[in-house]
Structure 1
């Protein structure tokens, strides 16, 4: 629930009091470390707000275009996740990550299928030629893992199921010689 202006002013005042107490810390190293951490956090949020404003200015009148631009910005998306404000479900974000990595997989003769998202685990299945070559499969699995954890940081494990074997079609021996001239003795 958004804060009222009065609530925001009170929060700013409390925050300023807490920040001013940093200057009274007796340990110089701890004070410097805390100050640097806060400055880094403020810079991160400043960059995020800069991106939000940039997207808002460059977006057309459509709210959905602005939302798409904001959600596709990795930093903005992550900060929405941190504050539990991201509008997309974990499964939707994992699915989008797989769509993003799919061209890379296809360039190596592979593909990926999302089987399930269960808590903090995403289960996927790799398909195609990437399944037969161990080093290729490992490279593609890594690409999938990176894409998924970037889009859904709450996913702590991506498991890969074995691809279902393609059915082998055996040609009966008799069919091999059908239409061949029969040798006469």
Structure 2
């Protein structure tokens, strides 16, 4: 998602659930704060749509599935958010909260915007790493060809790899998936 507008007061989780049930827009919740998730750019939608379409086709029959920007995810630290793309292998597990959220993602993908990229690379990444089932976290720039893939290695640490050319192949071993960056960035105009 794109720009987040911060609210001013502190909220309980129950407040967040009530707001989510009544609202036509999505919100992120963490540590008493609620952030409105507002519309994304054309580039953002093209990139997320291209990758999601490829994932849906290639994951069919593998025991893994992909969801696009309406699947709420929660972390053990209490972040409730809507990643641009999330993949889960095995059975999707939802929490017991009033507002259901996926608790066992295998892969999370965020398409970066200027207003959220620092958060996506920093605090949000730290919160995501607390999800034991998460194996990969992918960040995709929308203003240039640039993808960074973070992978949890056996020691529990995270390795990082960058992809910067259209002919590069993004490999996602957690879901046994490969895709050329030119497919992810198909029809994305960097000049507009």
- Relative to the length of structure 2, the TM-score reads 0.24
Please state which structure has a larger fraction of its residues in helix: 1
Larger radius of gyration: 1
Greater RCO structure (CA 8 Å; 6+ sep): 2
Choose between structure 1 and 2: higher strand proportion. 2
